[in-house]
Amino acid sequence: DLTLSSTNGCVVVEDVRFNGGALSSVTTLDASGDVSLVDTAAQAITHTGAIGGTADLIVTSTNGCVLVEAVRFNGAAVSEVTTFDASSTLSMTSTGAQAITHAGATGGSSDLAVSSTNGCVVVEAVRFDGAAMSEITTIQ
């Protein structure tokens, strides 16, 4: 092995700074294999970005999907999500046809439920409050 060390400072090679086990001042890091974070303590990958969101962190795969905790990202599509939790509005903004589809189970034992904890559910101005419906103008 070739060992480079410094008694009172860092070792700098081609502007890359080595300080014990730490590596800094790297502008590009290429790996042909896995990159592993193996410490059992909390780990982070942090991107500072730019104010206004003009310099985003981008994670992409050239020939496949990106998996994060078993959630599959494929371009703009997200799949393999078992629970989706939102604290605000969920919007579907495409002007094309949209669908919310539930497969259910044979025999109707696994229904799709839409409910509100502290208020009514409103669909196309029809108000559902438990088993009661109101604001209906026409039934055809």
Model pLDDT for residues 45-58, shown as the tens digit of each residue: 998 888 887 888 88
What average pLDDT score do residues 1-7 get?
Answer: 89
pLDDT for 111 beyond 90: no
Give residue-wise pLDDT tens across range 16-73. Answer: 999 988 889 999 989 999 989 899 999 999 988 888 878 888 899 989 999 999 999 9
The pLDDT value given to residue 34: 92
In the structure, what pLDDT confidence band is assigned to residue 127 with cuts at 50, 70 and 90?
very high
Pair of tokens at residue 12: 């700098």
Q: Count other Cβ atoms within 10 Å, centred on residue 18.
A: 16
